[in-house]
């Protein structure tokens, strides 16, 4: 058992899902020719001026409210001054004095317990460009320069690498639920830096921290922090000091490497950007955006367990994807049976999506379809095998299950006389199997049931078939 308590705070950059950049009308799309999406404004040409993208402000406000932040009456932009070739104006337009949100909180489930991780602030800022280093020269691509980001800064409330990863995953889910970002770490639309320090257990002051950058996946976040905790533990155990510095996670070697120490820290000379006025955030606007927020993942998960009696596993699986919860909620709006709907979604629907490598949101199925299917099953109108067949057709064509059942005459046969006639046929056709059953080989009963079902084209009520067969043998 370690003698130290780990203290972690995260700085998470989230690229906002806007059509255009934060201060000009260039497209934000990913993967274009270098410098194709640029103009005098995002190139920092002399005399060009920024104009704020209102959509980005609304998305940032939505994120800040989802993180339960306090929203100021007026939010404004500041300049963060520093020289670097990927920064075309030699300052980044960011928020310093009046960020869009402060003092928020995220409720995070760590296994069975739920903790409140405090959010220090949420602020809007523009992204920098990208440098491409070649032997003997470096190139600058400013397509990404000016892309809107929010930076979410947590308080130092996380206590382990694993919790940091779980927090980040759940934060990403919140961002996705709110439609604020694509949240793709691989494409850089979600980026995370971590501040890590150790202190003796029971201590109240913070130890010296290091900042870890370049963690490009959830696994890297956990790996980078775990490495840093081990490195700092070893240092302290040897009686050495932790040096305050910025370190880079090297994925290939699975280690962190020192980049620069705090003594080389920049003075960013923040001041209010005189090119941009303040943005008033009226109570009316805040209420409107807050009211439009979707139910967040954790709340939804707890509700699924309590309201519908779903298992923790099913509730967690359903809430792991926005598209899945949408279908579930839609189906439940039609008063369907929760357990049946969950089974259909987590079973055949997910399997189909995986097999066809198709995102759920692109499939033509709706919550109403799922509700119909569940009702058809619950009423005994169709059998399980038929249900699978109907579902597959719905997934392929978008036809409603009710219509499929009606037009193809798939309604389950409940009539004993009709089934009995089929039973007679099967018994006559398979004397050997009949003999086997009578001599105690029960597997043969299954075969006969199957034959009756096949003769009914799957429509016979399997329970009734079983009962009638047994009676006759």
Partner 1 sequence: MGHIWDAPLAHIARSVRQKELSVTELVAHALARIDTVDRRVRAFLTVDGDGALARARLLDAQGTDGVLAGLPMAIKDNISTRGIKTTCASKMLEHFVPAYDATVVARLADAGTVLLGKLNMDEFAMGGSNENSAFFPTHNPWDVTCVPGGSSGGSAAAVAAGEVLFALGSDTGGSIRQPAAYCGVVGLKPTYGLISRYGLVSFASSLDVIGPLTRTVEDAALVLGVLAGHDARDATSASITPPSYVEALTGDIRGVRIALPREYVAEGIDPDVRDAVFAARAVFERLGAHIDEVSMPHNEYAVATYYIVASSEASSNLARYDGVRYGMRVDDAQGLQDMYTRTRSVAFGEEVQRRIMLGTYALSSGFERAFYGQAQKVRTLIAQDFRAVFDQYDIIIGPTAPTAAFAMGAHTSDPLTMYLNDTYSIPMSLAGVPALSLPCGADARGMPVGLQVIGKPFAEVDVLRVAHAFEQATTHHLRRPALRDAYAAKEADA
Residues of span 38-67 touching partner 1 by CB under 8 A: 40, 43-52
Q: How far is the CB of 89 from partner 1 (least distance, A)?
A: 5
For partner 1, which is the closer residue by CB, 162 or 275?
A: 275
Q: Collect contacts of 254-259 with beta carbons under 8 A, ≥24 apart.
A: 254/223, 254/227, 255/227, 256/210, 256/212, 256/224, 256/227, 256/228, 256/231, 259/213
Q: Which is nearer to partner 1, 131 or 230 (CB)?
A: 131
Residues 375-434 that bind partner 1 (CB under 8 A): none
CB of 45 to partner 1, least distance (A): 7
**Axis-axis angle for helices 401-408, 384-397 (nearest 10):** 110
Kindly identify the residues of this chain, within the stretch 338-377, that bind partner 1 according to CB under 8 A: none
CB 402 within 8 A of CB 366: no
Q: Shortest CA distance to 189 belongs to which of 357, 296, 29?
A: 29
In the complex, least distance from residue 46 CB atom to partner 1, rounded to whole angstroms: 4
Please give the residues from 257 up to 296 whose contact with partner 1 meets the rule CB under 8 A.
267-271, 273-277
335 token code pair: 């008063």
Phi, psi of 261 (to 5 degrees): -95, 165
How many chain residues are in contact with partner 1, going by CB under 8 A? 30
Residues 167-186 that bind partner 1 (CB under 8 A): none
Cβ nearer to partner 1, comparing 278 with 347: 278
Kindly tell me which of 41 and 338 has the beta carbon lying closer to partner 1: 41
**Least distance to partner 1, CB of residue 152, Å:** 24
Site for partner 1 in 82-111 (CB under 8 A): 83, 85, 88-91
148-154, strands of its sheet edge to edge: 101-110, 113-126, 148-154, 4-15, 190-200, 210-215, 245-250, 255-261
Interface stretch with partner 1, choices 3-11, 79-87, 172-180, 426-434 (CB under 8 A): 79-87
CB-based contacts of 95, cutoff 8 Å, min separation 6: 75, 76, 77, 78, 123, 124, 125
Output the smallest distance, CB 18 to partner 1, in A. Answer: 17
Instruction: Return the residues of window 13-42 that contact partner 1 according to CB under 8 A.
Output: 40
Nearest Cα to 174, choosing from 105, 101, 100? 105
Minimum distance from residue 17 beta carbon to partner 1 (Å): 23
Compare residues 46 and 135 and give the one whose CB is closer to partner 1: 46
Stretch 126-165 residues interacting with partner 1 (CB under 8 A): 140
Q: Is 126 helix (H, G, I), strand (E, B) or coil?
A: strand
We find the least distance from the C-beta atom of residue 246 to partner 1, in angstroms, to be: 18
Of residues 279 and 346, the one with the C-beta less far from partner 1: 279
Q: Nearest 10 degrees: CA dihedral of 429, 433, 438, 443?
A: -140
| DSSP per-residue codes, 193-209 | EEEEEEEETT--S----
Q: How far is the CB of 39 from partner 1 (least distance, A)?
A: 8
The overall longest dimension of the chain from CA atoms, in Å, is: 96
Q: Which is nearer to partner 1, 90 or 406 (CB)?
A: 90
Binding site for partner 1 (CB under 8 A): 40, 43-52, 79, 81, 83, 85, 88-91, 140, 267-271, 273-277
């Amino acid at each position: 058992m370690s003698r130290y308590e780990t203290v972690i705070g995260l700085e998470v950059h989230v690229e906002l899902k806007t059509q255009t950049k934060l201060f000009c009308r260039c497209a934000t799309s990913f993967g274009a020719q270098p410098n194709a999406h640029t103009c005098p404004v995002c190139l920092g040409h002399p005399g060009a001026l920024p104009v704020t993208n209102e959509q980005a402000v609304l998305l940032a406000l939505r994120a800040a409210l989802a993180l339960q932040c306090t929203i100021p009456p007026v939010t404004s932009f500041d300049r963060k001054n520093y020289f670097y070739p990927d920064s075309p104006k030699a300052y980044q337009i960011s928020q310093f004095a009046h960020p869009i949100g402060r003092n928020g909180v995220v409720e995070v489930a760590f296994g069975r317990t739920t903790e409140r991780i405090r959010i220090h602030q949420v602020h809007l800022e523009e992204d920098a460009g990208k440098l491409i280093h070649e032997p003997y020269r470096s190139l600058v691509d400013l397509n990404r320069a000016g892309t809107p980001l929010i930076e979410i800064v947590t308080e130092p409330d996380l206590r382990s690498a694993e919790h940091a990863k779980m927090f980040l995953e759940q934060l990403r889910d919140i961002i996705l639920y709110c439609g604020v970002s694509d949240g793709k770490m691989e494409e850089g639309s979600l980026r995370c830096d971590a501040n890590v320090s150790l202190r003796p257990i029971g201590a109240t002051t913070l130890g010296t921290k290091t900042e870890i950058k370049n963690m490009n996946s959830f696994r890297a976040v956990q790996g980078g922090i775990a490495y840093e905790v081990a490195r700092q533990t070893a240092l302290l155990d040897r009686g050495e000091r932790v040096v305050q510095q910025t370190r880079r996670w090297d994925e290939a070697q699975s280690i962190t490497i020192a980049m620069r120490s705090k003594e080389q820290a920049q003075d960013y000379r923040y001041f209010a950007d005189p090119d941009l006025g303040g943005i008033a955030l009226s109570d009316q606007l805040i209420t409107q955006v807050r009211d439009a927020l979707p139910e967040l993942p954790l709340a939804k998960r707890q509700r699924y367990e309590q309201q519908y009696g779903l298992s923790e596993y099913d509730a967690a699986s359903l809430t792991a994807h926005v598209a899945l919860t949408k279908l579930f909620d839609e189906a439940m709006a039609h008063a369907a049976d929760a357990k049946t709907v969950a089974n259909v979604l987590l079973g055949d629907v997910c399997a189909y999506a995986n097999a066809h490598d198709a995102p759920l949101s692109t499939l033509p199925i709706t919550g109403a379809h799922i509700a119909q299917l569940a009702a058809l099953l619950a009423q005994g109108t169709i059998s399980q095998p038929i249900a699978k067949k109907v579902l597959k057709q719905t997934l392929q064509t978008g036809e409603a299950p009710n219509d499929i059942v009606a037009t193809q005459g798939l309604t389950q046969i409940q009539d004993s006389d009709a089934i009995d006639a089929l039973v007679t046929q099967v018994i006559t056709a398979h004397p050997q199997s009949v003999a086997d059953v009578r001599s105690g080989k029960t597997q043969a009963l299954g075969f006969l049931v199957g034959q009756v079902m096949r003769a009914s084209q799957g429509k016979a009520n399997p329970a009734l078939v079983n009962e009638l067969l047994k009676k006759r043998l």
